[in-house]
């Protein structure tokens, strides 16, 4: 089942650098050894728990079949050329604990089943600074940043484009997603 879901993902993406070259129907290589794939070690039937394909030049739209990777806990596809929206089917997963789709050309809103994660943390260079706010009360990303800048008394640092801030929201199960302005488009 996971092998077929990975092959479906590959068939929907352009891979000019060959990052997914090991992902093949005919390969004798176990799919758990494919580039960017990590599997659980606890189950007799090995399941995909992570996709780590940052900066691989992957292009195209994430297909709904990604939700067939039902044990997926980590999705790290930042710094690619992904387009379209975040598939609502991602919300069907039991609980991605980490989701980073930043620095792609994704548009649209965060699917309703993912945007119910109302907790938000502010990190600077990987260090969490704390506090939680409700994302649904903000009209856009700029309004969110301005409010957080005021709340944390950053004196304009958070809204400055020259600073290294990331805004990440999490739910009670510590599922994470990077917040950027394309989630309000």
Dihedral (CA of 127, 41, 54, 184) sign: negative
List the beta bridge partners of residue 105. Answer: 83
**Strand order, beta sheet including 59-61:** 13-14, 59-61, 81-84, 105-106
Dihedral (CA of 76, 62, 72, 115) sign: positive
Helices within 38-106 (DSSP H only): none
The Cα–Cα gap between 167 and 98 comes to 13
Residues 6+ apart with CB under 8 A from 53: 19, 35, 36, 76, 77, 80
List pLDDT tens digits, range 40-74: 877 667 899 999 999 999 999 999 999 899 888 88
The Cα–Cα gap between 26 and 3 comes to 11
The Cα–Cα gap between 157 and 146 comes to 10
pLDDT at 170: 58
On average, the pLDDT of the chain sits at 77
Q: Tokens standing for 76?
A: 């790290």
Longest CA pairwise span in the chain (Å): 57
The Cα–Cα gap between 60 and 50 comes to 20
Which SS3 state, helix, strand or coil, does residue 145 take?
helix
Distances (CA, A) of 91 to 60, 110, 165: 20, 10, 26
Q: Each residue's pLDDT tens digit in the chain (185 positions)?
A: 899 999 999 999 999 999 999 999 876 678 999 999 999 877 667 899 999 999 999 999 999 999 899 888 888 888 899 998 888 887 777 655 677 777 888 776 666 555 444 444 455 545 555 555 666 677 777 787 788 777 767 778 777 776 666 676 655 445 556 666 555 55
């Amino acid at each position: 089942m996971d092998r077929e879901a990975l092959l479906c993902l590959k068939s929907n993406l352009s891979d000019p650098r060959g990052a997914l070259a090991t992902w093949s129907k005919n390969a004798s290589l176990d799919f758990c050894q494919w580039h960017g794939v990590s599997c659980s070690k606890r189950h007799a039937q090995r399941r995909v728990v992570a996709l780590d394909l940052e900066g691989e030049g992957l292009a195209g739209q994430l297909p709904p079949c990604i939700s067939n990777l039902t044990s997926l806990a980590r999705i790290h596809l930042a710094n690619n050329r992904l387009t379209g929206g975040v598939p609502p089917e991602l919300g069907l997963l039991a609980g991605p604990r980490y989701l980073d789709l930043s620095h792609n050309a994704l548009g649209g809103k965060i699917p309703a089943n993912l945007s119910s994660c109302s907790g938000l943390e502010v990190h600077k260079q990987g260090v969490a600074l704390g506090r939680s706010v409700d994302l649904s009360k903000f009209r856009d990303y700029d309004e969110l940043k301005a409010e957080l800048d005021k709340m944390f008394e950053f004196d304009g640092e958070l809204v400055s484009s020259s600073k290294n801030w990331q805004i990440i929201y999490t739910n009670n199960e510590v599922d994470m997603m990077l917040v950027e302005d394309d989630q309000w488009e």
